[in-house]
Amino acid sequence: MLPKAYDPKLVEEKLAKIWQEKQVFKSKNDGGKNPYVIVIPPPNITGALHMGHGLNDTLQDVLIRYHRMKGFDANWVPGLDHGGIATQNVVEKTLAKEKKLTRHDLGREEFVNTVWQWYKDCGSAIYTQFEKMGWALDQSNIRFTMDEERAAAVYECFKRLWDKKYIYRGKRLINWCVRCTTALSDIEVEHEQRSGKLWHLRYKGADGGADIIIATTRPETIFADSAVAVNPHDEKYKNLVGKKVLIPLTQKAIPVIADEAVELGFGTGALKITPAHDAVDYEVGARHGLEIISVITDKGRMINVPAKYEGMDREVAKKQVVKDLEEAGLLVKEEKYDNAVSTCYRCGSAIEPFLSEQWFVKMDNLAAPAIKAVESGAVQMHPENWKTPLLNWLKNIQDWCISRQIWWGHRIPVWYCRQCSGTGLTFAADKQGRTQLVKVSFEDGAKPILSQTQPACPHCGGKDTVQDPDVLDTWFSSGLWPFSVFGWPKETPDLKHYYPTNMLVTGYEIIYLWVARMIMMGIEFMGKPPFPHVFLNGIVRDKTGKKMSKSLGNVVDPLDLIKKYGADATRFSLLIQAVPGKDIPYGEDSVVGARNFCNKIYNAARFIQMNAEGVEGKLALPAQNTELCDIWILSRYNKAVAAAAKAIEGYDMAAAANTLYHFLWGDFCDWYIELAKPRFTTQDKKRVAAILVNVLYGTLKALHPFMPFITEEIAAGFRKFTNESAEFLLRQSYPASDAKFINEAAEAQMALLQGIITQIRTVRAQFNVPPGAKIKVLFSTSDAREQAVINKYFAYITALAKADNLVCGMDLTRPAQSATAVFANTAIYIPLEGLIDFAKESARLAKELSIVETGIANRTRMLGNENFVKNAPAGQVAKAKEELSQMQLKASQIKEAIAGLK
RNA sequence: GGGCUGGUAGCUCAACUGGUCAGAGCGUCCGCCUUACACGCGGAAGGUUGUAGGUUCAAGUCCUAUCCGGCCCACCA
């Protein structure tokens, strides 16, 4: 005898191993089957997987397993992302915590080695999680964005873009994170409303001219001011344009200029122009040929400022400058002001607009065909409402800053010669006398060397070449993922067979960072978009709807859930809430519910097994069935399976999971199994067992993509009754719905019986009839068909409503001392001598009556409205008529019952 | 400033192209250890579908306005 409760621990670990050993997840590129391909959004190696991965990858797993069972060569390509800045930050933090070292203590080479070691540890932890979650990922086939093949792809991509002159180096004002000390691309910057202050400062007129008051949120940058700008149409300042004013604290004279960028009416109408530290100012400065003065270093410290402030942190300097301005009487006003602060998406520090030399990719030519692909529907977003934002982004695309001043990542494959100037490099000695790369310029025909490994200089033959110190944006390599995973640029058989992929499943928060880049790169290098469909999943939030974050302490760890409830329950709890595109508020109660469902499946199987064991041989589904509940369950089953498949194909996993959940728990367990119980002692035994086994087995297959472990485990025990030869469900076929089993008439008959049974149960509960007591019931109907059904299936009512001595006839009289219920056209009389509470019964009936009367009134009004009769579809009118007559009958029966009470 | 999105039972969410009495899970209440399952069984209570108008024979579903959330994009100091 099996234990009463399902214990996932006993099966999950075992099956996860067997699946890998027997290579159940391996795809076979042998031309036999159509491919169905999904490349995994490679998780960053920044730590353990979280619930977001749990959802995202489980959705992919459902699609992969479903298509595998549908006969496709389903290939879910596993892999990891090196994660650039994010990973470097994590490793640096660990290093600081564990060894009190910085990356500079280790030096670049040693640090990079440390990260590789980290990758090994963190990576293998992630692989273990893949297995524990039951994801059908072939572990022998893992890719990593930094492995050799992917590095080759990155190099090839860089080279081709360089050759097309899409990649260039330029001095620009870029987004700089002073904590990570690196440049970021525009989309790596987040905007956050922070409460701050707006200071009004007095800039005195030079040579006795008028003063100007400007408003700024960044007083510490006044030392970098090159001008004060006003709107050209601003009457107030018209006479001042061309004059000079003095920067407070330094008395440096700067011109007053007119520029449209200044908005009339905002603040004081005058804007200090600081080209080196503000994007707008940079443009204004360019238009007016202003001097660019940097006063903040890459670490966020003050430089080129009066000695007093030199070396101060920018935030400290801000306070000091305000204080000094106040003392100098030049601070006119200080007001509260909320403004959007740009922050680093990796560490949250305030971004500093920073003038520096960086590598860029020119994007407009890459975006154009991607726009076309999205507009034409060659790439479709699900849900569709993301199409517009994606298009808007592509249409307003900015050049992509791809260089990062960090150590972990693909090094920019550009080399310079230290022996000649042919590669565009200028060197100088720094304070310590080390030779530093100071300036790269490809003007004057200088050409750098593109190479993955150290080359000799093609210009002078010198061997003293040095590689560009920067690394590429981590998204540069992930943009190539859908084809780099198949070995591109090599023309491998896999590349041919599996590209383009069928589907991308990812979160909407990385549409621009990743999805858009893949589309552009795929078209550029492969000639085709990498996938026709993008399925966007929501974010898993905590149960109050907040984003899960370590700082809030509301993070749920999938591994904990697995330990407590099993992987199937963890998966199912996510899937049943996975409405396309919607965020999921996640609480532990949902996984408890899913765990209970697992137990329900297990126990249903246990029960069926107990009763099927005695039966010899196979249990084929009977071709002909005459018993109502058999016909009914087969009809329900075939409908459920069809609905589940349809929902999966529409990416509505919540609908699919719900359908199967309710079919199995409701129809199958609550009704069919209960009706089956008494039949085990009759001639019907083998037939019932056969239907139970087959419907259960089919349902297990239908559920397998959702809960792979428990379904595999149970199905394995039942396979001997079936004709299945394949050992694993993944190698068996997804159940097909067979229309010949769908029987609306049987479902209607069964619905009548279910309704009647429920009515009787309600009455029993209402009047506290002892659960064991059998009660007599009379059915009085005016409908011959209903009479026939009830008469024929007395047994169902006896069994499920604990009734006895049933009598069914046309228009019977209501016995005294009985409770009355009405279902369809049948009145149900339950004699309850001594048990009945007349007041209670009267109240119950009155309530019932009022509901029915509302229904009657509605339908009478509808049918009395000639526009309804004229305009509504004939079916609707007939339905209303039918309902009206039934309700009228019901009302009269209830009235009669009320009148007869006593 | 532009765009997207949501406001449905105590909670979390469903409801296909407008058409039964708006559903489920959890929670609550009542009764049950009925020989698969108390991680269970049976039953009940609970909703003017944010608000105000409109279109329609018919609206949670379409339109307008409005209030309250959430998100994304954008160079207003």
Global ipTM: 0.95
Residue A10 CB lies within 7 Å of the nucleic strand B: no
For residue range A628-647, what is the model confidence (pLDDT) as tens digits?
Answer: 999 999 999 999 999 999 99
Contacts of A400 (CB under 8 A, 6+ apart): A185, A360, A361, A363, A473
Q: How confident is the model at residue A900 (pLDDT cuts 50, 70, 90)?
A: confident
Window A205-244, strand B contacts by Cβ < 7 Å: 214-218
Average pLDDT over residues A554-579: 93
- What pLDDT does A98 receive? 93
Classify the C-alpha dihedral A376-A360-A524-A651 as positive or negative. negative
Mean pLDDT of chain A: 90
For residue range A708-758, what is the model confidence (pLDDT) as tens digits?
Answer: 999 999 999 999 999 999 999 999 999 999 999 999 999 999 999 999 999
Q: How confident is the model at residue A124 (pLDDT cuts 50, 70, 90)?
A: very high
- What pLDDT does A824 receive? 86
CA of A765: nucleotide with nearest C1' = B43
A584 CA – B25 C1', rounded, Å: 14
Contacts of A560 (CB under 8 A, 6+ apart): none
Q: How confident is the model at residue A656 (pLDDT cuts 50, 70, 90)?
A: very high
* Pairing mode, strands A253-258 and A351-361: unpaired
Q: How confident is the model at residue A335 (pLDDT cuts 50, 70, 90)?
A: confident
Nearest to A640 by CA among A606, A617, A667: A667
Residue A842 has pLDDT above 90, yes or no: no
Residue indicated by tokens 């083998």? A686
Query: What is the token pair recorded at A718?
Result: 């039942």
- What pLDDT does A902 receive? 66
Q: Identify which has the larger pLDDT, A805 or A437.
A: A805
Window A599-618, strand B contacts by Cβ < 7 Å: 599-600, 603-604, 606-607, 610
Nearest to A487 by CA among A74, A29, A135: A29
Query: What is the token pair recorded at A788?
Result: 């026939």
Residue A613 has pLDDT above 80, yes or no: no
Residue A617 has pLDDT above 80, yes or no: no
Nearest to A610 by CA among A513, A680, A707, A705: A680
- What pLDDT does A654 receive? 92
A890 CA – B75 C1', rounded, Å: 71
* Distance (Å, whole) CA A170 – CA A635: 68
Residue A433 has pLDDT above 70, yes or no: no
Residue A466 CB lies within 7 Å of the nucleic strand B: no
Write the secondary structure of A606-626 as one string of H (helix), E (strand) and C (coil). HHHHHHHCCCCCCCCCCCCCC
Residue A327 has pLDDT above 80, yes or no: yes
Which burial class, exposed, middle or buried, applies to A120 when counting CB atoms under 10 A from its CB (0-12, 13-18, 19+)? Answer: exposed
- What pLDDT does A438 receive? 65
Those nucleotides of strand B lying less than 7 Å from any protein Cβ are 3-5, 11-15, 19-21, 24-27, 30-32, 34, 36-45, 56-58, 72-77
Q: How confident is the model at residue A835 (pLDDT cuts 50, 70, 90)?
A: confident
Residue A512 CB lies within 7 Å of the nucleic strand B: yes
Residue A159 CB lies within 7 Å of the nucleic strand B: no
Q: Identify which has the larger pLDDT, A195 or A53.
A: A53
A22 CA – B15 C1', rounded, Å: 43
- What pLDDT does A619 receive? 83
Least confident of A101-105, A121-125, A652-656, A883-887: A883-887
Q: How confident is the model at residue A134 (pLDDT cuts 50, 70, 90)?
A: very high
Q: Using the 8-state DSSP alphabet, how is residue A27 labeled?
A: -
The DSSP secondary structure of A266-300, one letter per residue, reads STTSEEEE-GGG-HHHHHHHHHHT------B-TTS
- What pLDDT does A207 receive? 82
Residue A434 has pLDDT above 70, yes or no: no
The angle subtended at Cα A605 by Cα A600 and Cα A607, nearest 5°, is 95
Give A541's strand partners.
A547, A585
Average pLDDT over residues A304-328: 91
Q: Identify which has the larger pLDDT, A490 or A421.
A: A490
CB-based contact A671:A754 (threshold 8 Å) = yes
Residue indicated by tokens 């050992």? A727
Residue A680 CB lies within 7 Å of the nucleic strand B: no
CA of A605: nucleotide with nearest C1' = B36
Residue A131 has pLDDT above 90, yes or no: yes
Give A827's strand partners.
A780, A822
Using CA atoms in the order A703, A708, A711, A716, what is the torsion angle rounded to 10 degrees? 140
Which burial class, exposed, middle or buried, applies to A776 when counting CB atoms under 10 A from its CB (0-12, 13-18, 19+)? Answer: middle
Average pLDDT over residues A243-272: 87
CA of A759: nucleotide with nearest C1' = B43
Average pLDDT over residues A149-157: 97
* Pairing mode, strands A533-537 and A540-542: unpaired
* Distance (Å, whole) CA A614 – CA A623: 22
- What pLDDT does A419 receive? 80
Average pLDDT over residues A36-46: 95
Average pLDDT over residues A105-114: 94
Average pLDDT over residues A48-56: 93
Q: How confident is the model at residue A690 (pLDDT cuts 50, 70, 90)?
A: very high
Residue A100 has pLDDT above 80, yes or no: yes
Q: How confident is the model at residue A435 (pLDDT cuts 50, 70, 90)?
A: low
A736 CA – B16 C1', rounded, Å: 21
